[in-house]
Amino acid sequence: MTYSITDDVNKAKAWECFFMEEMGRLLDLKLLWNPDRFIIDWSVVDKSLNIITLIEAKVRKNHSVNKWDDFMVGLRKYQWGVNYYLTTGIPFVLAFRFSDAIVTYKHNPEKKLMVKYTGRSVNKRWSQDVTPCVHILKSDCKIYNLPYSIPVNMVEDLNTRVWKDISQPIELYLNKIYEGKSFVNYE
């Protein structure tokens, strides 16, 4: 079987859509997906569509939040978020979805972060996955442990879809997960 970066990108977009829909429900937020040229994936908007926060989302659906002591994102993505923050004052947040938790980190201009040449080098097929990355210590993040995990059949189902046909299955799965539960202001 030939490896296709396009397949990985489509799966990643599908999972990011799931995560942002989930996060929107958890925190009662309206999120919009930014155009690719914007670099940072998501905007949180108010009722007048003013951007109130920029979010870069990463999904690590097969791993527990306890697997690592830090979390990483590509330096280029982080630089773009910081540049938007410096230009507009709009907060920039990294959000990670693990199998059992949501982790957020709000950019802090006072905080010096470690930058290492690293990336997804284990079991990955694309040399461009190894790149300069910003590493954020777990202790600098907010961790929201979730009272549920992503069902295995949902992982299998969403992995077979491309991101453009993902909204209906996401809605169905989230309705099932959240049936009778409210996690707004959950901590």
- Tell me: the pLDDT tens digits for 59-71? 887 788 898 899 9
What are 147-182's pLDDT values in tens digits? 666 655 565 565 555 444 444 444 555 555 555 444
Which DSSP category does 150 fall into? -
- Residue 186 resides in a domain: no
- Tell whether 184 is covered by a domain: no
Tell me whether residue 44 is in a domain.
yes
pLDDT band for position 98 (50/70/90)? confident
| 185 falls within a domain | no
Report the CATH number that the domain containing residue 15 is assigned in CATH. 3.40.1350.10
Q: Residue 187 falls within a domain, yes or no?
A: no
pTM of the model as a whole: 0.75
Is residue 103 within 8 Å of 69, Cβ to Cβ? no
Tell me if 64 is assigned to some domain.
yes
- More reliable by pLDDT, 102 or 127: 102
Inside any domain, residue 183: no
Closest C-alpha among 98, 111, 168 to residue 140:
111
pLDDT confidence band for 184 (50 / 70 / 90): very low
Average confidence (pLDDT) over 107-124: 80
- pLDDT over 70 for what percent of the chain? 66
Instruction: Write the pLDDT tens digit of every residue in 15-50.
Output: 777 778 777 777 778 888 888 889 998 999 988 999
Domain residues for the domain of 133 are: 5-177
Average pLDDT score, the chain: 76
User: What domain count does the chain have?
Assistant: 1
pLDDT at 99: 81
Question: Which pLDDT belongs to residue 27?
Answer: 72
Sheet containing 142-145: give its strands across.
Answer: 30-33, 42-45, 51-60, 92-98, 101-106, 142-145
